Chain A
Amino acid sequence: MLRAEGLARRFGEVVAVESVSFEAQDGQITGLLGPNGAGKTTSLRMIYGLVRPDAGRAWVDHLDPTAAPLDARRRLGVLPDSPGLYARLTGRENIRYFAELNGIANDAALHKRIDALSETLDLGRVIDRPAGGYSQGERMKVAIARAIVHDPPNIVLDEPTNGLDVMSTRAMREAIRALAAEGRCVLFTSHQMAEVGSLCDRLVIIGRGRVIAQGSLAEVIAHAGAKSLEDAFVALVGHHEGGAP
């Protein structure tokens, strides 16, 4: 379970996040939507414990990432918006490095776990090649495997289908559904409304550092008085961007 309670953060004069509250439940896929610069990434960083909130609190299960960052991160798997791999290490070595950093012993069990991930994400052909030669899709899939190799109950994916081809996008969606079906809390961001609409159990829409709307897909569309998610998003964000109450 991931939760934000009145998170606020400013950088100098710029208010990045004014007040963000939401909750992402276990076993559900929660979509976080918002235009660029709305405060999504800063909100996520406060949940990771990378940025300290000026006000409010974040929760990773029962842990406050500001107070217990290491325990919180052990229960968290993150695919940041632009994940870098080590080009001279193979995919397997990249994944193993992060597993070991998260306190997992380098033994036969880890080897099997990486094989299983490789199977799920269809990485069999490339996992033992240096990551420098990977395509965008292969990089993304290895980065996801790296983020979830330590079996975290909470997973944050920042635009996981960015730059993927049709087949890879499909495989990624299946993998995200499978993670939630295992009872994990999955929070993800995307700019593709169709993808968000088909995947998410709940939606949280952020604009100008505030939560504008949240609920199920139907609730959000009804709230905006629109016909589709895209119309609802434009109506809500545009309305908000216009500055009217």
Chain B
Amino acid sequence: MSRRPTPPSLVVLKKELLDGVRDLRSLFSAFFFPLLGPLTIGLVAVALERNTNDQGLETLYVEGAERAPALIKILERDLEIKPAPPDAEQQLRDGELSVLLRVPEDFSDRAARGEPAMVELISDGSKTEHRGVTADVERGVAAYSSELGVMRLLARGVDPALIHAVTVDEIDVAPPERLGGNIIGAVLGLFVIISAFFCNMYLVIDTTAGERERKSMEPLLLTAAPRGALVLGKWMAGLTFGVMGVIVTVVLTLIPVLWLDLERLGLRIVLTPGVGALIVLHLLPLAALASAAQLLVGSFTRSFKEAQTYLSLTLFLPMIPGMWMSIDPIPAAPWMMAVPALAQQMLITRAISGEVTPLSWQLGAAASSLVCAALALWGMRWVVGREQ
């Protein structure tokens, strides 16, 4: 019952996976990070949901409400109006009161005479949580002022349209799912792409710099296994960890998204299990590149610490498109498919926004990553093959 020898690349793959699974540090980094992404997205979604659900009106304290009943009526649409306590201003300074509106005694007299009437809005500008209230008050006063102005012009026989020289009409054509998709897509894309790079990082370090540090590299190179097979086996092991990280990230993100009713938040994102599978598929070529590129960097280093430093720095490169996209979403263009990580970021954002991406773009994105992966593997083969 003699068995055929296993191909050396598979022998290396099997050993590196066994070694990686037994290494707590590798396992921790591989499975801690994928938890982080869905957790962040879940928390953001929960916070958004709570904000939206919070229908209770914020409170505005008013001194002399009886002097401006028409204004108060307008403000009552957005705010809960409460009479100010006697020492309101002091309480506000002490932080016990949110925002205070003071209607002076001469308000109605001046208004009746057609002179500019004044109200005082008192708040603590350092408290950002009260900005919403002050904005509501300013908007309400402006509406009242404009209403009063229009009536005065009409009373004098002047067309009120004359004073509106220019007006702005905002038209937002984005379908609701694209708005939500852009943000969640950028964040999810960022996390998924990083997990392709991060989840295999310690395994890659261990199979390159670790191999040198524990002085097992020379015995390994003295076996009859071809150098290319050693590189291939290590690459496949890194790829396995990277892909597992991507799958875990996507699956764990599906849970809060399916569980929370994001549509109610106006975040209509399309993240069904099918879209999740598509995202994993888009990420496979990038995970291939991640494993190859990190092996190449790792094989230049001589110690675990050195490898950790350089690989953490290279981790920033694939993060750039995602961070850029979450700050300033830009429209996708065909050239972007030639840039690994940026291409995947675009594909994920579009998939989540429910946009259909041409197949040629998808294939182009896969091809650019695979070509770069092949170049990195070729480079790694050269590094391993050169003299020690």
A52 interface residue (CB < 8 Å to B): yes
Return the CB mask of B83-124 against A: 1 if under 8 Å, else 0.
000000000000000000000000000000000000000000
With A83-B219, A103-B5: A74-B224 Cβ-Cβ less than 8 Å: yes
- Supposing A50-B388, A51-B387, A88-B19 touch, asked if A101 and B216 sit within 8 A by C-beta, the answer is no
Q: Which of B2, B8, B221 contacts A109 (CB 8 A)?
A: B2
B250 within 8 A of A: no
A88 touches B22 (CB 8 A): yes
Contact with B along A47-86 (1 / 0, CB 8 A): 0101110000000000000000011011010101011111
- Identify A105's interface contact among B3, B15, B23, B226, CB under 8 A: B3
Cβ–Cβ < 8 Å partners of B221 in chain A: 50
Contact yes or no, B6 A84, CB < 8 A: no
Task: Report yes or no: A52 in contact with B216, Cβ–Cβ below 8 A.
Answer: no
Chain A nearest CB, measured from B224 CB (Å): 4
Residue of B nearest to A152 (CB): B224
User: Once the chains are docked, how many angstroms separate the CA of A174 from the CA of B282?
Assistant: 59
**Chain A residues with a Cβ under 8 A of chain B:** 45, 48, 50-52, 70-71, 73-74, 76, 78, 80, 82-89, 93, 97-98, 100-109, 143, 146-147, 150
Query: What distance in Å separates the Cβ of A196 from its nearest Cβ neighbour in chain B?
Result: 23
Residues in A neighbouring B6, C-beta threshold 8 A: 100, 105-106
Is the beta-carbon distance between A101 and B12 smaller than 8 angstroms?
Answer: yes
In addition to A87-B214, A88-B19, A107-B1, 7 A-B residue pairs with Cβ atoms within 8 Å of each other are A50-B387, A51-B387, A100-B6, A100-B8, A100-B11, A104-B5, A106-B6
Nearest-CB distance from A98 to chain B (Å)?
A: 6
> In the complex, which of the residues A48, A85, A107 contacts B222, with contact meaning CB atoms closer than 8 Å?
A48
12 contacts between A and B (CB under 8 A): A48-B222, A50-B388, A78-B219, A80-B222, A85-B216, A86-B19, A88-B19, A100-B8, A101-B12, A101-B225, A105-B5, A107-B3
| A88/B23 contact (C-beta < 8 A), A78-B222, A82-B215, A106-B6 known | yes
Q: How many residues of B contact A (CB 8 A)?
A: 30
> Is the Cβ of B15 less than 8 Å from the Cβ of A102?
no
- Residue numbers in A under 8 Å from B8 (CB-CB): 100-101, 103
The smallest beta-carbon distance between B386 and chain A, in angstroms, is 10
Does B218 sit at the interface, judged by CB under 8 A? yes
A89 near B225 with CB under 8 A, answer no
CA distance A55 to B62 in the complex (A): 98
**Contact A106 B3, beta carbon cutoff 8 Å:** yes
User: Which residues of A are found within 8 Å of B214, using beta-carbon distances?
Assistant: 84-87
Docked complex Cα distance between A82 and B219 (Å): 9
Pick from A73, A80, A87: contact of B218, CB below 8 A.
A80
Complex CA distance for A83 and B5, rounded to whole angstroms = 25
